[in-house]
Amino acid sequence: MLRTLLQTSDPASQPFIVSGSGTLGWDFVAANLVERGDDVLVLHTGYFADSFADCFETYGVNATQLKAPIGDRPQLHEIEKALRDKKYKLITVTHVDTSTGVLSDVQALSELVHKVSPETLVIVDGVCSVGCEDIQFDNWGIDVVLTASQKAIGSPAGLCIMMCSKRAIEVFKARETPPSSYFASFKNWLPIMQKYEAKKPSYFATPSPQLIHALHTALTQILARPLSERFAVHKKASQSVKSTITSYGLQQLATKPENQASGMTAVYLPKSVKATELLPNLLQKGVIFAGGLHKDIASKYIRFGHMGVSVTDPSRNDIQKALEALKNGLGDAGYSVR
């Protein structure tokens, strides 16, 4: 099912499902695919690039961040220059940065990397994109997609989910030093995952059966309709949310349409409205919005998630309820919606 969701038919690609959060995926990458002293390029579109880079540094890996202004993403010509100036073992991109709502063009990035620096592995953090954005693992030449069980997949939090390419596994097997983690070691988990897929019992660490069953149910529901339809529904809902927010006189962090994610929207608040007052007000109306996460502007914006069942089951009317609550909440705070 994960192979279908991530659109890989290559039998040499390897899925992993391990108890933990999406953050554990960073540790898997840092502990298995690079070694102390290696150089990696981290494309920065928000908070989660900082954290991924910090994870690499914890393992003694040199992380160079290529940053863009808030609400934007590094441009292809900037990435090409960075790849030509220095050899990187891998490059990471946050497909959708949850802190800013910025969407990156993974297909164009991967094509560039394979052209300019073909030995560099392409690592995609898809925690906020898998299940609501198109990800073509094989066709785009991706080496790792890491994600988690919550968000657009729609099952409870608690599972780290990854898909690794044959090339990524070969890089791991060619390591000169042992993996730099015990729990997050492909040496320990790879044979377990291979036996699971072969429907053979195996054990390294205790899994969470209830979360595995929940993930199976969620994937069954997702794959009951064509993925293209699912992605189109998310995009349509996103455009509706963004259009309505614009009609309220509000501005997104991601101002360029090509940078705007389908599963969430990050919105600047009017200067007269404080998130610390607005968010509890919205909660009283039965709606939960998230506060800002980007350290430079955290108090200036809020985040609106619109993915999964809230989008695919229109009978719930979740999106309209949330927009109406936001409108009324802004009014309560003294801001006159246009």
pTM of the model: 0.96
> H or E stretch including 170?
helix 166-173
C-alpha span between 197 and 52 (Å, rounded):
29
Closest CA to 238 of 308, 161, 155: 308
List pLDDT tens digits, range 203-241.
Answer: 999 999 999 999 999 999 999 999 999 999 999 999 999
Q: Is the pLDDT of residue 338 over 80?
A: no
Average pLDDT over residues 45-67: 97
Mean pLDDT of the chain: 97
List pLDDT tens digits, range 250-297.
Answer: 999 999 999 999 999 999 999 999 999 999 999 999 999 999 999 999
C-alpha span between 47 and 23 (Å, rounded):
13
How far is CA 190 from each of CA 5, 157, 286, rounded to the nearest angstrom?
20, 22, 44
pLDDT score recorded for residue 239: 97
Owner of token pair 């030509």: 84
337 pLDDT band (50/70/90 cuts)?
confident
Closest CA to 89 of 107, 66, 64, 70: 64
Closest CA to 84 of 45, 115, 106, 53: 115
Q: Is the pLDDT of residue 132 over 80?
A: yes
C-alpha span between 268 and 272 (Å, rounded):
11
- Kindly state the percentage of the chain with pLDDT values over 90: 99
Residues 6+ apart with CB under 8 A from 111: 140, 141
pLDDT score recorded for residue 314: 87
Q: What phi, psi does 2 have (nearest 5°)?
A: -65, -35
List pLDDT tens digits, range 174-195.
Answer: 999 999 999 999 999 999 999 9
DSSP-based three-state secondary structure for 266: strand
Average pLDDT over residues 303-310: 96
Owner of token pair 């392409």: 122
**How many residues are given for the chain?**
338
Residues 6+ apart with CB under 8 A from 61: 30, 34, 35, 36, 37, 38, 39, 40
C-alpha span between 119 and 259 (Å, rounded):
27
Q: Is the pLDDT of residue 298 over 90?
A: yes
The answer to whether the CB of 22 falls within 8 A of the CB of 148 is: yes
- CA torsion sign, 8 to 10 to 14 to 19? positive
DSSP-based three-state secondary structure for 102: strand
